[in-house]
Structure formats: C-alpha cells, structure tokens
Structure 1
Amino acid sequence: MKFTKAGFLFVSLTPSLLLADSNENLETTTITAQSPDLLDSIALTEEQIRHLPGTGSIVQIDDLTGRVIKPQDLFEFNPQVYAQSSGTSVDSRLSVRGSGLQRRYGSRGVSLLVDGIPANDADGSFYFRVINPLSIDHINVYPGANGLLYGGSQLGGAINIVQKNGVSDPGAEMTLEYGSFETFRCSVQYGVEQGNWDFFSSYSYQESDGYRDMQNWHSHHFTANLGYLWSDQAQTRFYFLYSDSDAQLAGSLTEDEFHDDPTQSAPGQDPRTDRDLSTIKLSQRTTWGTDKANYAFYTYYQYLDFDHLTGIGVGAFNNLVDYDTDEVGIGFQSENEWQLASTKQILRSNVTYNYGRNEVGGYSGFVPFPGAPVGSNARDDVAANFNLYLENETQFTETDHIFLGAGYVEAKRKRRVEPENDNQTDFDENQGDAVWRVGYLKDLNESNQLFINLSQSFEAAPFSEVVAEVSPQTAQSIEAGSRFQHGFASGQISAYYSQVNDEFIDVEVAPDVYQTTNEDTIHAGLEAYLALDLNDAFNWNSDYQLDFVQSYQLNDFSFDGGQYDGNEIPVVAKHVYAGTLQLTAPDAKWNTAITVDWLPSGIVADNKNTIESDGYNIWKWSLELNVNQHLTLYGGVDNIFDEAYVSSVTVNPSSDAYLSPGDGRAAYLGATLKW
C-alpha cells in the first residue's frame, strides 16, 4: 500500500520498524536485520505500514514542491503537524495534536529526534531551526501514543529527522538560490561510500532581509556523519552537528498597524531585539541484529546557547533570556520475535536517560526587584529524565493484531535562584507517572485497514515557562481511523480525543499579568490526507501525470473547567487545509504545481476569546526543470496575490499589539548541480 503522490509522501509507519529511523528495515514475517543505509529503505518501510495501530507519516524531502526553508514548508501537507511561521522568518509554531500550545518561543510537547537520537533539551523544549532542511533525507512523524516506542511520552508523540548519509546520497551537490527580500541560500554537500565505510558532510549558509522591517536573519549549518558496517547486520554511525542562527524580531502589530502596513516593525521596536541560537551536538548510534531480534544503542552530548535580546525599561537594553545548556544522554532499543502457543509475538522496548544543566542569566522576570542592575540575578536549572517503555504485539490471526504497552517516566526538576526574589523561586522535586497504550489493528484486505488505540501520555514541567513548580501534564487519549486505497484514491483519516489533566497554560493572575499554571483541557481533532491520481480518475491515457493532494486538520481544543470553561484554547487555528495540483511531464523532465494554504477561521489570541485574526487563503506556484542528470533548475512564487495575512499571534497579549504578519509575495530562482 503506497501513498506516494504529488508533493508529498504520506504513509503509515509501523512501530515494529524499531530501527527504521536509521534506515534499518525488517522482513514482513520474521525480524531480519538489514544494512541501516539501504538505498531503498523508504520502499521497504512502506511495506511495513500495516503494523501500526494508529496513524503515522513520512515526509520525503525530494517529493515536496517549491522551496523548503521553514518547518511550515516541511509539514505543509502533513495533517498531523501544525506548523505556522511565528516570531522570526525561520521559526514556526510547531504542535502535534495541541502539544505545547502556549509556548512563546521554541517548541515542546513532542520528542524531537535526529537520526533516532533525542534532540530536545532536558526539560523537553526544542528548537527546530537548528536543523538544515537541505541536509534532510526524510522525516518520520509518530503522533500521540504512536511515538511511545521512540521516547515520545508527551501528548504530541515523536518526530524523527533522518539526515542524508554517504550511502543514500553519494557524490557532490551544490545548491544556489536567490529570491525576494534579498533571500540567499548556498549549500554544498558531499557523500562517499568505500568498502565498509561511508561519509557525508553538508554546509549551508542562508540570509534574508525579511518581509518586514527589522526581520533579517542569517544562519550557518554544518553536519557530518561517518558510518562503519561491521557486518551485514551491524553498524556504528557517528554524527556531528553545528548550527548558528541569528534573527531579528520585528515585534507584534495592532490591527490598525497591520492593515496600514504589514511590512512595518512594531513602533518603537529596538533594532537590536533578536533571538540568537547556537547548537553543537556529538552522537553515535550502534545497531545490530539476528534473524529474530534487532537492537540499537546510542549516546550523545549537545550544547545550546540561546540569547534573546530586548529593551527593558526606559532607555535600557539587556538580555531578556540567556540560556547556556549542556546535556548528555544514553538510550537502548530492542525488538524480539517470540512464540506463545503457536501465536506470533513481537516484544519491543525503549529505554532512555538524559541529564541537562541550564545556566540562566537575563533581566526581565529574573531580577530581584524593579530597576535592579544587569547581572544581579542568575539561575541554575537541572533536569534529568528516565523513560522506560515495553510493548508487545500479538498477531491472533492473519488480519487481527493486539498491542499492549506500558512504561514509566521519571523526571527530576531542580531550580536554584541567586539571590532569591519574588519573581523566581527555588524548587527541587521529582515528577513521574505511568504511560501505556492498548491498540487494535484490523486488516480488511491488502489495501485497507482499521485501527484504534487508547493511551496515557506524560509531560514534565518545562523550565522556560514556569516561575515556580507546577504539576506534570498527563492525558488519556483515544484514536481511531483508517488507511485506505481504492483505485485512484489513497489516504488516511484519523480522529482523536484527549482529556488533558493539568495542561501547562498561561492564566491571568492579575490584570494583564499571566503566569504558567495547570488547567484541565480537552483536545479533539481530525487528521485527513487524500491523494488522487486524476489520470486514473478520468481515464486519461496520457504520458503526462496529474495528481491532486489534499490535507485537512481540525483542531478543537478547549478549557475544561476553571475561569475559561468551554473557551477555545488560543494560538492554533481550528481549521487548516492545504491542497496542491501537480502536473509531471513524461520521464519527469519537469513538473509544476499550484498550491493553496487555507485557514478559514483565523487564530484566537487570548483565553477569553475576545480577539481573533482573520482567516486567509494563500496561493503558490512552483516549477522544477531537470535539465539533465546533473543540473536541476527550479523557481516559483509564494503568496501570488500578495495577500496580507496573519500567520501567528501573541499568546494572551498585554496590549493591542498581538499580530505577526506572514510573508507577502515572494519570487525565487534556484539551481542544484550534482556530480
């Protein structure tokens, strides 16, 4: 069953592919280790989609239409991931099933992995902009309980970014691109395989003046990995990642300011206001297997330097946030096939431990009293996490599968503030709870399936959003859906409902003063993907291929009790639709696509539901020309009709300025040379 269509590869992943994130694959009937870098790993993964009692997806970069710069571009046709640009041109608000809804910068509520190795900070937060889209091979998305086997104990599950390597991408490649707003990108990469060794490296530089005043950004990314194949069933791969990005903050606009000129920065915004992020990561992953089992072991170290500069007070300009984080981690995964009364069983496990220390400096919120001098206050945050999860699949018949999983998450959260003050308080506590999943999968026939699962998630408190200790967030969820293929139509649909206990929410504790605390909420939604082969649909006998792909997301998130009972939880649009029509020439000599992104109802900005942005529909066009096997030219126009629209809003704004405009019309041209 394949869902490969124009613009996006959308399939369901099986949790039995424990090593699939490293391009490792298993046979359908027995567990057989393969080389982790087989070139056809995506195709083999597609054969395993029938073993997941829930939804999942693969974003294959080569199948995306148009240029890819932001997370919003990556997940445009993924109904499981909400990604809308916010704050800076290179950042996006990223949420899966309402995870991390009110995060003001960065993301949380999802376990982000790079090549199967955790990439979150120890407190659970992560920054997607440390990843260079040009070095990605594909991305695996495991929403909700489907991410438990990958350490995704939170409400949103797990997202794994699989980078290119010397086996998947041998040879040299250079990409040059230029577009509106003085946007420039240059990337060089090289991969080689020799004997049991392979090596890949990639460097990318990007810069832009941005659509708005004081919205320029630039970034450097360097990645490298070295793999050694010990045997046909064992490999070790070492990884290095360096990322450095600087981005100005143009600030939020009022409705009048937005309608008058969406390209302006917030009046009075200091041009030095920015968010800078530097990351270094070293890691290794070793995998090995037998005919009946597979294993993986990894270790990693990562360092993050995050600075948010802004003006505080009259005539002042200081670090609002200054994070320096060191983290180490270790993990082990296994999968074993066994028999019980002639019934096939597969037992899978995931064990992870990480420890991180965050040295925090800054000004606003960390000072002992108003007007205190810079540097008068500092904070140390320490987080440690242990995650154990076991899951067993029982195949009762050829068409019926039962999944039973259980685990435990223990999280340490410790804060020390010097000197102590009313704004920040010391605390030292352990937070822990069980996670579990019960699932059922029914094969209706070779192309159609039904699935359902019940689960509990757990997320410990994030340091960056709390000024005092808060309870952990848990949720009980149910998911049900279907994967289908009927002639010219293929796709997937899934509905979910989560009763969230003690969600981390900004609550008004004084007039226009908000503080993160715990509130009970309800998260319900629908995720749908549909790919149509229009040649087959209309019986067109043509060498040209016409495909129509659609993605729809319903996000119905509300408060369950408290002062906002029944209100919509702000900052994520309720309805999100994307559609693309792509025409491909014979022998794939060229392809062109027209795409629409539609948010019909806009975005609510506050818990009281008194302010909301307008909805919008944005049209894009792209063209790709394969001149020969070495040279590809591409170009396009985003926001063809230059519509002024709001891509993100400030959570619970303390003023009338809460709108962050999306980019206006932008044209671009690029070329990729391979040899």
Structure 2
Amino acid sequence: MIFPSSTRHRARLLACLASTALAAPALAQEQAGELPVITITGGQAGSITVLTPEQARARLDLIPGGVALVTADQWRDTPATTIKDMLDYVPGVFAQPKWGEDTRLSIRGSGVSRNAHLRGVTLYQDGVPLSFTDGGGDFQEIDPTSYQYVEVFKGANGYQYGANALGGAINFVSPTGRSNPGLGVRLDAGSFDFYRLQSNVGGVNGAFDGYVTGSYISQGGFRDHSSGTNARGSANFGWQANENIETRFYFNATDVQQDIPGAVSKYVALHSPQSANPTNVALDYERNIQSVRVANKTSFILADTTRLDVGVYYNDKSLVHPIFQVLDYGYQDYGAFTRLVDERVIGGFKNRLVAGVNYGTGTVDAQRYTNVYGNAANLVYMSTDEATTTTVYAEDNLYLTDQFALVAAFQYLDASLGRLAYLGTVSGGNDYQLFLPKGGFIWELGPDAQLFGNVSRSGEAPTFSELTNFAVGDIANLKAQTATTAEIGSRGRTPTFSWDVSLYRSWVENELQCQDTGVLMGLTCTVVNLSNTIHQGLEAGANWNFLQGLAVTSPSAAPDGLWLNFAYTYSDFFFDNDPVWGNNQLPGIPRHYLRAELLYKHPSGFYAGPNVEWVPLAYFVDDANTLNTSPYALLNFKMGYEPPGGRFSVYLDARNLFNEAYIASVAVTGRAAPNQALFEPGNGRALYVGTKMTF
C-alpha cells in the first residue's frame, strides 16, 4: 500500500505488515530510518484473499470521497436481522425495515422510489459481485451474523470495484478460518415470536483454512400476515499454495418463506399499525426464495509492487412470489472478474493504479399465473430475460507530495438487456453504453486527518423489474440514469474522537422513478425517466469518548467512560424546473435523519445506554407534494456484558420504548390519492435478548 509520510499511515502499514511474510524487511527499513514506500499484502500468517479490518480501513483512506467501514462488533450484540442493524450509524445511508429481513435502502437518494427489491447500490461479497447482472438485488440472502465487517462506498466512490451506480457499493466481508478459529454458538429471542439459532466453526490446518456458519430465524412479525422463516448457510475454504498465492472458494445457500403484510393508508399506518393490507391477506402475498451461490477468488502477489485478483461466480435462485399474480421466476447468473493493483514509484512520484474488468451474464425464466387465494392458477405470462454487462475500470492515485495526491478514474459500462416473449408480452430489448470519468484529490492535513474531494460521473441502466411495464405488458423504452456529482469532505481520528463529513451535490439526468399505480400495494410499479433532478446533502458522523474515569480511576486499569456515537444525514432532493412538478421535493426520503447513541462502557465488559432515531420533519410520498408521512422520534435502550477475551457475551436490546406509531417505509407515486396504500408502519415496542459463546 502506498505509504505517505504521516504517523497514521506509518502505524497502519506496519500493523498490516506485522501479519505478513513481508513484515521483516519493511520493519528493518523503518528501523534504519528508510520510509517503506510501497508494499503489497501477502504471507502465510494471514489470508491473502481477505483483508483484515485494519488493512481495509487503510485502503479506504486512499479514496477521495465518502466511504465507511463497519465492523461486526458494532451490530453483533443486537438482533441484527437486517442491513439496517449493520449500517444504522453510517451517515448518508437510509435503511428502513419493512417485514422479515427485507429492507428499503437508499444511499444519497439511490433508488429512493423503490419499495421492493434493490436498485442504485451494487452489492459485493469479498469483492465478488453479489448483485444480479441487471443491477437489481435483494436483502433476504444477507445474513449479518455471517460477516466480520462491511465496506460502504457512497456515491461514485466504488470505482475500485467497478461500481457505477448513484448510491455506490456495499462490500460484505466474510470471516475466514484464519481470522475466526474455533466454535461459536448464539441464541436470540424477543418480541413478536422472534427466535434465532446461529453457529459457526473455523480453523486452520497448514496451508488450508475453512469457515462455516449457519443460522435459522423464525418470527411471527409485528404486523398481521408478516410471519416468516429464514434458513441461511455460508462457507469459505482457502488454500495458500505459497506466501504469494491463495485461492478461496465461497458457498452460500438460503431458504426464505415470508408473508408480506403490504402497504396501507397513512391513517391505518398511524392508528392501526399492526394491520395488514386486506388484499395481501386475501391473496396470501408471500416472497419465497431458495438460492445457491458458488464463487472463487484467487489472489496472486506478483511482486512487491503488484497484486492480481481473479475470480468467477455462479448464482441459482428460485422466487415463488404470490402478489397480484403468482410470480414463479428462476434466476441464473454467472460471471468473472479480474482486478490489478500496482503500486510503484514513477518518475520520482509514488503511484497506485487499480484496474479491472467485471463481466456478468444472467437469465430470468419468468412465469406468472393468476392468483387464487395465494395459489397459482392459469398461466398468463411467460418470457426469458437475458442481461449481459461488462465494466472496464481504472483508478490512479498520483502522490505529488507525501501529503497530497491527485486521483483520476474512469469506467466504461456496456449493458445489454433483452426479452424473448412466449406469452403475455412481446420480445424486445435495450442496449446501454456509458463512459464515466472521475477526478479528485486527497490531502493529508495532519497525522490523522484528511481533506478530500472529487467530481465524478455515475450511470446505471434500468433493471429488468423496471423495464417490465405492467401497464401495457411490454418492455419499456427507458433511458439510463446518469449523474454528475461534486463532493468535498474530511475524515480523521484521535484516540478519543473520530469524524467523517461529506458535502455533495448531484445533477441527475433521466432519474429512474418507480411510481406506484395504486392497485398493486407497492410491490409493482410503472417506472419512468424524470427530467433533471438535484440530489444534494450533508453526511456527518462522529464517535466521541468525552468522559473517562467516571468509576475506574486506577492508573493501572483501563478507564471506564461515556461514548457518544451519532450519524446525521441531510437530504435535499428536488426537481430542477420540471415542466410538470416545477421545483417540488422528490418524494420518498426524509430531509433530516439522525441516529445517536450515548453508551457507558466499563473495562469489565459491561455497557449500557440509550439511543434515538429521529425524523423531525414529514416527507412527501408523491411528486405533486400533496401527501406526506409523519415525523417521529424513537427512544431505545441497550445493555450487555462481554468480559475481556470475547468468548462470552449477553445483551438486552429494547426498541421503541414509548410504542410510537410511525411510518418506516413508503412507496411513491406521481400524484397520490388521500387514502392510497403507500405506507409501511414501523415496529412497535420490542424487547430482545441474546447470548453468544465461543469455544
């Protein structure tokens, strides 16, 4: 990794090197007073394919934009069933649960109109593409107990993985047998008949290591018709051929059976939040998923200056989805990728180049039947959809000084989506080619502080679910959504304080908006290209140990203390002189969103404290700005005990203590009717307990 001469980078690099075969010569250089300039991680003591959190954090510091790393200890002692539990304290991320493990996610306004499925954020597992080839995705297959940390690349800051969407990318990183040896078991139980059993085992045998984990969740759900079960398992097995080569195989399997309560009117959401939509009950709306995923990633340390990652993946997924019709879809996705990192001195300047290619292709065999009380009756639709996507990308950091780097990047996206019709639709397709450049800088203000900025282009083709025009049954002729974003920010840390702040403005063209039709309960919609829109906002997060030594004052013991952790997101999204909507606010996301926690921590392992979730202003659910949500504030409390060593822990997590009726998620539309079913109520008062043991 490039090593500018700052205390933070020196300490981080040496920490990374300490677990590698390259550590000894680098430490010798340091002791001799020569600054090690370039290193590539490798070695028998740790995994080559999977970076440690410290290595990953040091790599994120080379990105000139909003990024975040969240380790598992921040969500481990919670019920942790959704991506909201994982990313709740990342500013810029708006994640709200709907039912079961499904979540509505938006980063900087990406896919803000989507109330079903994911768009605008690309998902990865250990750097291997996890999203579908067409750009869509789901969260039911994400098990928070299966990952050791998560990387979040906000906006066009995921160029180093080939991500090109407005919302950026999320990379879920797995433990390995080297990082998590031993046997672990956890039990959780709580309100609304929530139960979970999870277990994992990992170990190392010479050049081989392995890690296997599995979990089973059963829950009745807060709302009527929202019960479900979820069985998930994952494993990875690695082999280090030598200190410079490692290959790792990944396996994932999921079986989800989930009822869907559906969207309701605003009045029902606030006055009878446990109610399900009557249509959902009558037609037994469900989302049932069975999936298997296999992947391989191989890393080569070609030289002290060059690293190469290559890999392949295959996904097989079955979706049986009774909604307005019974959807019976079969997905098959496969692809390959390669990524080169080269770090060397060029013309007397330190330089870091990342370049790669992602290729994916996939098919969807789609059949739809009339829904008779949740059962499939007459076949009314049949097609085969095929998507092929190729992304070529490169990003280069050129250090003009040890403290200042210029960053230049580009991506080229070639996406082809086609449909072969058999029944109920017509054949067709669209092709998209996008060139997406980026320029930025990183300035080391001090040993542990950075200023960064960039101007970038992002772009994304419509997914198949968006190209499916339910109004007429044909494939829609939609344009790709593109945006130009300017961003500036700062991040840094001291022993008692860390911060991460970004200010951005995006000029979006042809924004893809999912407009609820008012008859399909927010699960299907007609997607349109909007005219010019603006997404601008402020993302601010901090963690502050502002009081120490409250009860433990002995100089020989670690002090106790109070920690304040908060994440504030300001989102100002609006039409830019639209011929119909003028400068109205874009619907679907609150202007202000705050998560804050005050936690007392004792060196014995005891911790306790309150936390809040606050949306102080209602936000609109339609382009016409005629119907809005309601502001809310939730008070929560958690406490637990995890003695030093981490082999045992117990927690209590109390949520929504005042039993506030509030709206967690919405569908959006052009002009809403007063009682239109667009609102998903949040959960009422809940209490969860759990314990984890490691042997």
Aligned Cα root-mean-square deviation (Å): 2.9
Are 2:318 and 1:305 equivalent residues in the alignment?
A: yes
TM-score by length of 2: 0.87
Work out whether 1:573 is the aligned partner of 2:590: yes
Where structure 2 has 5 or more consecutive residues not aligned to the other structure, the ranges are: 1-7, 27-35, 470-475
Residue number in structure 2 paired with 1:288: 300
Q: How does 1:327-366 map to 2 (within 5 A)?
A: 327-363=333-369
Once the two structures are TM-superposed, the CA of residue 162 in structure 1 deviates from its matched residue by 0.4
Q: How far apart in 1 are the matches of 2:202 and 2:518?
A: 57
Rounded to whole Å, the distance in 2 between the matches of 1:121 and 1:536 is 48
Which residue of the partner structure matches residue 656 of structure 1? 676
Structure 2 CA distance, aligned partners of 1:71 and 1:53?
25
- AA partner of residue 124 (structure 1): G
**Length-normalised TM-score, structure 1:** 0.89
| Change in CA separation of 1:188 and 1:567 when aligned onto 2, cut-off 3 Å | same
* Larger CA deviation: 477-486 vs 108-117: 477-486
Pair 1:237-2:248 in alignment: yes
Confirm whether residue 666 of structure 1 aligns to residue 686 of structure 2: yes
Which residue in the other structure is 2:33 paired with?
Answer: none
Written as runs of structure 1 = structure 2, the 5 A alignment for 1:145-184 is 145-184=156-195
- 1:477 and 2:485 aligned: yes
Partner residue of 1:37 out of 43, 47, 50: 47
Q: Where does residue 491 of structure 1 map in the other structure?
A: 499
The match for 1:381 is 385
Q: CA deviation at 1:130?
A: 0.2
Identity of aligned residues (%): 27
User: How far has the Cα of 1:33 moved from its partner?
Assistant: 2.5
SS in 2 for 1:73: helix
CA deviations 1:25-47 (Å, max 9, x no partner) are: 99872132224628982223344
Q: Secondary structure at the match of 1:128?
A: coil
SS in 1 for 2:547: helix
Q: CA deviation at 1:605?
A: 1.2
Alignment size in residue pairs: 640
State the SS of the aligned residue for 2:39.
coil
Q: Label 1:591 to 1:25 Cα distance change in 2 as closer, same or farther (>3 A).
A: farther
Question: CA shift at 1:84, angstroms?
Answer: 0.8
Match of 1:528 in 2: 540
**1:448-597 alignment to 2 at 5 Å?**
448-466=449-467, 467=469, 468-485=476-493, 488-506=496-514, 515-519=526-530, 520-535=532-547, 543-560=559-576, 561-587=578-604, 589-597=605-613
Partners of 1:227 and 1:237 within 8 A in 2: yes
Confirm or deny that 1:257 pairs with 2:271.
no
Q: Secondary structure at the match of 1:375?
A: strand
Q: Which amino acid aligns with 1:475?
A: A
The alpha carbon displacement at 1:486 in A equals 6.1
- Per-residue CA distance 1:510-534 (angstroms, 9 max, x = gap): 9999631211221111111111111
Match of 1:638 in 2: 655
Deviation at 1:508, TM superposition (A): 8.7
Give the corresponding residue for 1:601.
Answer: 617
SS at match of 1:62: helix
Secondary structure at the counterpart of residue 184 of structure 1 = strand
Judge which range, 559-568 or 198-207, deviates more.
559-568
Q: Which amino acid aligns with 1:274?
A: E
Give CA deviations for 1:34-88 in whole Å, capped at 9, x if unaligned. Answer: 24628982223344454221121111111335331111111110113210112x2
The answer (yes or no) to whether the contact 1:627–1:633 under 8 Å persists in 2 is no
Matched, 1:194 2:205: yes
1:554-593: CA deviations, max 9, x gaps?
1111122242231222122221100001111124x21123
Q: Which amino acid aligns with 2:437?
A: W
Map of 2:4 onto structure 1: none
Q: CA deviation at 1:610?
A: 0.9
Distance in 2 (CA, whole Å) between partners of 1:174 and 1:662 is 30
Q: Structure 1 residues 457-466 or 502-511, which shifts more?
A: 502-511
Contact 1:33–1:288 (CA under 8 A) maintained in structure 2: no
1:132-151 aligned at under 5 Å gives the runs 132-151=143-162
Where do 1:403-442 residues align within 5 Å? 403-419=407-423, 424-442=425-443
Aligned residues of 1:24 and 1:41 also touching (Cα < 8 A): no
* Kept in 2: contact 1:242–1:281 (CA 8 A): yes
Q: Secondary structure at the match of 1:129?
A: coil
Q: Distance in 1 between matches of 2:432 and 2:285?
A: 36
Distance in 1 (CA, whole Å) between partners of 2:370 and 2:400 is 59
Distance 1:219 1:584, change over 3 A: same
Is contact 2:101–2:139 with CA below 8 Å preserved after alignment?
no
SS in 1 for 2:53: helix
Amino acid at match of 2:595: A
Aligned partners of 2:310 and 2:338 also within 8 Å: yes
The structure-2 alpha-carbon separation of the partners of 1:58 and 1:508, relative to structure 1 and needing over 3 Å to count, comes to closer
Aligned position for 1:444 = 445
User: CA, structure 1 residues 278+602, in 2 after alignment: closer, same or farther (shift >3 Å)?
Assistant: farther
1:108 Cα deviation (Å)?
Answer: 1.2
The answer on whether the counterparts of 2:159 and 2:395 sit within 8 Å (CA) in structure 1 is: no
SS in 1 for 2:380: coil
